[in-house]
Amino acid sequence: MERTISVLVNDRPGVLARIAGMFSRRGFNIASITVGTAEEEGLSRMTIVSSGDDAMALQIVAQLQKLIDVIEVHDISRDQTVKRELALVKVHITKTTRPEIAHILEPFRVSIVDVGHASLTVQATGDVQKIDALIGLLRPFGVAEIARTGVTALLRSGVLESGYAGADTPYRPLIEADATNDDDLFETERE
């Protein structure tokens, strides 16, 4: 199954190489990885999307914890999380397709961040399914370029208080995924 792993790391040179290197040499897959500054100065939060069975997920967490620059690791695959990805999609336009594209874009609540005579660039934010759906609908018009950030994620409020195992314990009770975990495709996004 797909695994989302949230990793709090020291913001130091080489940390990304340590983590990416560990994944590659142990044969773990990285579907996407996002890095940015975390709530505390000097720390970064990485969100790594991988795949594997429970045993592999435990190994990934345990091997991440062994890295000295890793402060905390949480496999949040089965937790209630907010997961978001940002995508920029440049799509070809003509006089005839432009209104049609605008019509498609409307329910996605995306922003058009750049417009030219032959193409326009859409900025979309949401979960992976929403971005995939949007791109799927735009493809027939001719997609020139796509840039996606990869998923970044945080636990939803309230989850932290209920049985959020610390980094010391790689074995944690599995929390059943809740329906509210899956974002509504046409959920309203605010800029």
Partner 1 sequence: MYGSSDAAAPAAAYEFVDQMNAGVVRTGADLLCSLLQQAGVDVIFGYPGGAVLPIYDALYSSSLRHILTRHEQGAIHAAEGYARVTGRPGVVLATSGPGATNLVTGIADAYMDSTPLVVLTGQVVTESIGRDAFQEADIVGITMPITKHNYQVRDIDTLPQVIADAFHIATTGRPGPVLIDLPKSVTSGPARDAVLPAPDARGYRVPGHPSDEALTAIQDAIRQARKPLLYVGGGIISAGAAETLRQFARVNQIPVTSTLLGLGGFPAHDELFVGMLGMHGTYAANQAITNCDLLIALGVRFDDRVTGKLQRFSPHSKKIHVDIDPAEIGKNVPVDIAVVADVGLTLQALAADRLSADTGEWRAQIAAWEAEWPLRYRADDTCLKPQAVIELIAKRTRGEAIVTTEVGQHQMWAALFYPFSEPRKFVTSGGLGTMGYGFPSALGAQVALPGETVVCIAGDASFQMNIQELQTMVDYALPVKIAVINNRFLGMVRQWQQFFYDRRYAESRISSPDFVKVANAYGVLGLRASTFDEAKVAIEQAFAHEGPVVIDFVVQEEENVFPMVPPGKGTDEMTLEWEG
Contacts with partner 1, residue ranges (CB under 8 A)? 9-10, 13-14, 17-18, 21-22, 25, 55, 58-59, 62-63, 65-71, 167-168, 170-171
- Residue with smaller CB distance to partner 1, 1 or 179: 1
DSSP label at 151? -
- Residue with smaller CB distance to partner 1, 37 or 111: 37
- Residue with smaller CB distance to partner 1, 53 or 184: 53
Shortest spacing between CB 163 and partner 1, in angstroms: 16
Residue ranges of E strands in 38-158: 43-51, 70-75, 81-92, 111-115, 119-126, 143-148, 152-155
Shortest spacing between CB 71 and partner 1, in angstroms: 5
Cα–Cα separations (whole angstroms), residue 107 to 13, 99, 104, 124, 187? 42, 14, 7, 11, 9
Cα angle 53-58-60, degrees, rounded to a multiple of 5: 95
Shortest spacing between CB 99 and partner 1, in angstroms: 52
- Residue with smaller CB distance to partner 1, 24 or 129: 24
The values of phi and psi at residue 38, to 5°, are: -100, -170
